[in-house]
Amino acid sequence: MPGIGIERMNETPKDSKPEMTGTIAKSQPTASGPIKLEAIEFTAYQKFMIGLLALLQFTIVLDFMILSPLGDILMKSMEMSTTQFGSVVSAYAISACISGFLAAGFADKFDRKKLLLFFYVGFIIGTFFCALAYNYETLFIARIVTGIFGGVIGSISMAIITDVFSLQQRGKVMGYVQMAFAGSQILGIPIGLLLANAFNWHATFYMVVVLAILIGIAIVFELKPLTEHLKLQSDKNALQHLWHTIKKKDYRIGFIATAMLSMGGFMLMPFTTAFLVNNVNIAQSQIPLIFFFTGISTIIIMPLVGKLADRFDKFKLFTIGSLIACVMIVIYTNLSPVPIWMVIIINMVLFMGIMSRMVPATALNSAVPEMYDRGAYMSVNSSLQQMAGGLAAIFAGMVVVQQTKTSPIEHFDTLGYVMVGLILWCVYLVSRVSKLVKAKRKMETV
């Protein structure tokens, strides 16, 4: 890859030792078994890319995640019903889904740096419009604009990670990059809520805009061009490339698994703060504390899960995380008024389970597409993920009910039981992805 010094997979020159540049390093066959694939140290530039992508993801995650803790404030200040708030959350997801499909055919036709910059600038503009919103209608439109651009950035980042890092490195990379989720809870959400309580909720989105502009400047001046995939392109046009990607059976398995992976999170997320405030009797001023400690637990578990995902079977790790998540979801969605320390502990363990699912599943899914399809695959994958999440948010808004602004949220436990069912189904789907990836790796090492 130009400027990065990364050789294409499995193209190490003969009679030379594999270089530590992000490719797969093959060890010699041993008497105890077949060839083993060893993990490789990161280069200085790879470390920089991990940091940059993590910061970028921080702004994307924060922009999306902040709606949940602001949910109770927004519903009260804008006099929105649960159905309307669910539609605001889903507006981002569904618009991101549509833009992802439209971008999929072009995702492998351009320098990934230029593509990333285009959509990140659009994301900044959309977030600025969110800060200017003054009622349900304007916020709904602003979230559509933000989703059109922001929803594609994750897939571009995934394509970059897959281009630059070998499969033996990706578990650790995913662990670090997805620490952005924890960072948004430790720093982003608490600070955003403090700004919302001290000034108003608009200040929270202005904060995201300022951070994103700084990160955008770093991308312009520090990120090198990413064009290696262009050497492998065929003469298919955008629509043909998109159809070529969708029609592959192996790819469709990955699409469905990832879509179902996101559905449960979207289902609970929009109404968690409203549930804690109105059902568990947690004061709005204490909500930042809950997110802070949850983020602490996540930032501890993410690198650990990433390392475990590179050393052990990713599917087994995913299954363990899924079982933990199922138990904690049932407990969480059936909470009655309890002390805040108990809510913090339950929330911490719940997110440990959820994150233990996300890292190995994402690493597995990144190994499904071929290099020349990665941009399109990640775009379609992200689109289906967003669509599933948007439908889940709409479903949640229709299921839960709040009679008045201060009434308890009803039927939240129903969402929990539905989410457990989706998680168990997802275990089966990810098992198929795992078998597919293992078969693919076996063929590559023959």
The segment with the largest mean pLDDT, out of 4-8, 211-215, 372-376, is 211-215
* Mean of the per-residue pLDDT values of the chain: 76
Phi, then psi, of 41 in degrees rounded to 5: -70, 150
Residue 368 has pLDDT above 70, yes or no: yes
Q: In this prediction, what percent of the chain has a pLDDT beyond 90? A: 13
pLDDT of residue 105: 57
Q: Is 33 left (phi over 0), alpha (psi -120 to 50) or beta?
A: left
Q: How far apart are CA 173 and CA 295, in angstroms?
A: 18
Length of the chain: 446
Q: Count CB neighbours of 83 within 10 A.
A: 14
Domains and CATH numbers, the chain: 43-445 (1.20.1250.20)
Q: Which of 124-128, 196-200, 379-383, 398-402 has the lowest mean pLDDT?
A: 379-383
- CB count, 10 Å around CB of 110? 16
pLDDT digits (tens, 9 = 90+) for 56-95: 888 887 887 788 778 778 888 888 887 888 888 888 878 8
Let me know: does 92 contact 147? Beta carbons within 8 Å: yes
Q: Give the pLDDT of residue 68.
A: 76
pLDDT band at 106 (very low <50, low <70, confident <90, very high): low
Q: Supply the DSSP string of 108-122, one letter for each residue.
A: TSS-HHHHHHHHHHH
Residue in this structure with the two tokens 């504390």, named with its chain if needed: 289
- pLDDT at site 384: 76
